[in-house]
């Protein structure tokens, strides 16, 4: 359902050229898209007039995008409003007195109105909102699991498979309302393309051996995947949705896994072994020699995901436990952020959904703001929740 918005005057939209910096309690904080992972201070905002569900949604959205809540006298931005049936929201810069947002929202659920208000505020300060985005993930245990889709914060979850079998690795197809994922529905590890609009299911890869880890290209026209049809476990690319024009990209004696694409579609990053040591690599999407991506300071990298702005690769490092790390896309010194695995970037290139393990062995999804390391849990579907994919 589309959100109908009744506009009151928007007095100012901030330009993109402002710079972020650390601020003292009563100094203006400037905003930029660049950041140092794990080293940024949250931006202080005050929130008033909201309660219940609307307040909870606004607080979660802002927390996982780098904000913290303070009294008005120490805040950079003053957010206020009400949610009596419909939501009215206002956002003002306390220092220059500019009114950034002043809107009434109707025509959708209160949750979606609250998400839309936060998105409008972020757009006004030169950021990209994530309130209307979706995630896909696997939920269940053992041989009985299903693929779910939900709002990015876990609400509105619905199963899009009813297989009661092994499913794995859902991946959104960019520019299409569709997923690729692995399934044992034919008693064999095959890959399927699922058009969520029509319900059409297309068998994409069903070669002898394993067919796993689908990763659709940024333009939604191709898919990278890992196949063992030749006897070795290698990286391949094919057309969507039917798997035509299959091309082999790597020829290795050791396993490749977890492909992901650069946002320009020119490279495919993957985890692979060389002399029994795991590392991150990239290979041209049209074929060529793989190039190692250094991840200095951490070991055993796997499960990479390339940020939509092209600047970062987030991945899992296994050093005793599982750790979420980031490294510049060209490689360099990696930054460990938090215990977890299976990371996937949001479209804003700063928030990540990932899996955290609890002491009992269960797994659930959480949201991480990479610059500030602030986190929030996602509501759990019964059983183990894992392998998240954020729609780009």
Residues 143 and 14 in one domain: no
Residues 20 and 168 in one domain: no
Own/partner pairs for 2-7, CB < 8 Å, 24+ apart? 2/107, 2/108, 3/105, 3/106, 3/107, 3/108, 3/112, 3/113, 3/116, 4/105, 4/106, 4/107, 4/108, 5/103, 5/104, 5/105, 5/106, 5/116, 6/103, 6/104, 6/105, 6/106, 7/103
Q: How many domains does the chain have?
A: 2
What is the full DSSP assignment across 18-60? Answer: -------TTSPPP--S---TTTPPPEEEEEES--HHHHHHHHH
- Identify the domain containing residue 29 by its residue range: 4-124
Nearest of 127, 126, 109, 116 to residue 89 by alpha carbon: 116
Residues 171 and 304 in one domain: yes
Residue 300 included in any domain: yes
Looking up tokens 């890959």 gives 191
Residues 78 and 109 in one domain: yes
Digit-by-digit pLDDT tens for the chain (392 residues) are 434 434 333 333 333 333 333 333 466 665 666 899 999 999 999 999 999 999 999 999 999 999 999 999 999 999 999 999 899 999 999 999 999 999 999 999 999 999 999 999 999 999 999 999 999 999 987 788 999 999 999 999 999 999 889 999 999 999 999 999 999 999 999 999 999 999 999 999 999 999 999 999 999 999 999 999 999 999 999 999 999 999 999 997 678 899 999 999 999 999 998 777 899 999 999 999 999 999 999 999 999 999 999 999 999 999 889 999 999 999 999 999 999 999 999 999 999 999 998 877 789 999 999 999 999 999 888 789 999 999 99
Q: How far apart are CA 331 and CA 280, in angstroms?
A: 9
Q: What is the pTM of this model?
A: 0.90
Residues 213 and 91 in one domain: no
Q: Which domain-ending residue is among 75, 92, 124? A: 124
Please, are residues 191 and 205 in contact by the beta-carbon 8 Å criterion?
yes
Say how many Å lie between the first and final Cα of the chain, rounded.
19
For 377, how many CA atoms within 13 A lie in the half-sphere containing its CB? 9
Residues 186 and 310 in one domain: yes
């Amino acid at each position: 359902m589309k959100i109908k918005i009744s506009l009151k005057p928007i007095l100012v939209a901030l330009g993109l050229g402002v710079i972020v910096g650390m601020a003292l309690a009563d100094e203006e904080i400037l905003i930029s898209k660049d950041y140092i992972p794990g080293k940024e201070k949250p931006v202080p905002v005050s929130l008033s007039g909201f309660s219940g569900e609307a307040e909870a949604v606004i607080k979660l959205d802002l927390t996982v995008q780098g904000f913290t809540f303070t009294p008005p006298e120490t805040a950079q931005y003053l957010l206020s409003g009400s949610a009596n049936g419909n939501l009215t929201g206002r956002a003002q810069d306390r220092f220059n007195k500019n009114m950034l947002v002043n809107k009434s929202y109707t025509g959708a659920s209160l949750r979606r109105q609250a998400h839309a208000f936060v998105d409008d505020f972020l757009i006004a300060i030169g950021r990209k909102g994530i309130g209307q985005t979706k995630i896909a993930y696997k939920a269940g245990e053992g041989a009985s699991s299903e693929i779910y889709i939900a709002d990015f914060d876990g609400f509105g979850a619905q199963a899009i498979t009813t297989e009661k079998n092994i499913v794995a690795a859902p991946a959104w197809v960019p520019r299409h309302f569709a997923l690729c994922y692995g399934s044992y529905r034919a008693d064999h590890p095959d890959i399927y393309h699922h058009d969520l609009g029509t319900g059409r299911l297309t068998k994409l890869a069903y070669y002898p051996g394993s067919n796993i880890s689908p990763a659709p290209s940024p333009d939604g026209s191709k898919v990278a995947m890992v196949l063992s049809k030749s006897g070795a476990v290698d990286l391949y690319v094919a057309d969507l949705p039917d798997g035509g024009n299959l091309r082999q990209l790597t020829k290795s004696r050791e396993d490749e896994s977890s492909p992901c694409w650069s946002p320009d579609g020119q490279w495919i990053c993957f985890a692979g072994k060389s002399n029994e040591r795991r590392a991150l690599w990239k290979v041209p999407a049209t074929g060529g020699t793989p190039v190692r991506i250094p991840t200095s300071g951490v070991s055993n990298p796997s499960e990479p995901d390339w940020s939509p702005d092209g600047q970062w690769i987030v991945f899992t490092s296994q050093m005793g436990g599982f750790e979420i790390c980031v490294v510049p896309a060209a490689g360099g010194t990696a930054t460990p952020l938090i215990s977890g695995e299976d990371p996937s970037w949001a479209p804003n290139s700063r928030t990540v959904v990932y899996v955290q393990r609890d002491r009992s062995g269960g797994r659930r999804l959480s949201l991480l703001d990479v610059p500030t390391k602030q986190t929030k849990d996602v509501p759990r579907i019964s059983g183990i929740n894992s392998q998240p994919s954020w729609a780009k």
